[in-house]
Amino acid sequence: MLVTGVLTPKSIAFAIAAACQQQGARAVLTSFGRATSLTRRSAQRLQPPPDVLELDVTDPAQARAVAEQVRSTWGGLDAVVHAVGFAPEDCLGGGFLDAPWSSVSRAFEVSSYSLRTLAAEFVPLMPATGGAVVALTFDATVAWPLYDWMGPAKAALESIVRYLARDLGARGVRVNALAAGPLETVAAKSIPGFAILKDSWAAQAPLGWDSADAGPVADACVFLLSDLARGITGELLHVDGGYHSQGAPLLPAERVAT
């Protein structure tokens, strides 16, 4: 399996790679530019330490080269995890109407269209019996404070999941998305107001929410990548403690009792 987006051991993708390895999967990681050295250090924390390949997900030629490297080294792969996203600073923080197209288009290119690029290059490496693609998102069915253009970029990502599910189903490839609750990652630090969002989540989620624990998301991803999810595609699975199902924060216990 190929996992993008591992930066540090706090990355959601790191937890996914670790959980998949615990279930017997062989992982290969990708990274890009200056982040590659961080990814290589993080890879040493996994057992066994996976190879790290450099991949700019916005460069189809490089993706094609990495796919060929995967083919020649491992013969193919069964699954791909899309865990990359980026938006320039002027796309976040409350300036929704002010962000220029040059910045917005970059957010869409990295966070959304790259899923199509990965599918186009790596799905052909999957066996005739099929495979799985899972993308990470942050529920784009509603607008979030300060998230601004990353919201529409994630909405596009979720739509691409459905269209890929349509086009790849005939060859047995399942494509799904995981909508995770807020987790304390390096990427989260770039989101203005993340601390407020994190605290409100813990108060509203019926099951509660530990923003320091990516384990529930990783376990759900293992499920979607496995044959246990063989009848599921085009799905958006919320792993958020139930937050998405609630219209308002939970009442204090004493008020509920009365």
> In this structure, are residues 211 and 10 in contact, taking their beta carbons and an 8 Å threshold?
no
Q: Residue 92: what residue type?
A: L
Q: Which residue has the tokens 């407020």?
A: 196
CA dihedral 184, 190, 195, 201 (to 10 degrees): -60
Identify the active-site residue in 10, 154, 163, 243: 154
Identify the active-site residue in 10, 113, 147, 189: 147
Q: Is residue 252 exposed (0-12), middle (13-18) or buried (19+ Cβ within 10 Å)? A: exposed
Closest CA to 190 of 134, 107, 117: 107
Q: Is residue 114 exposed (0-12), middle (13-18) or buried (19+ Cβ within 10 Å)? A: buried
Using CA atoms, how far apart are residues 19 and 23, in angstroms rounded to an integer?
A: 7
Q: Which residue has the tokens 């069915």?
A: 141
Tokens encoding 128: 């005739």
Tokens encoding 163: 């269209």
Active site residue 147: yes
Q: Residues with catalytic annotation? A: 147, 154
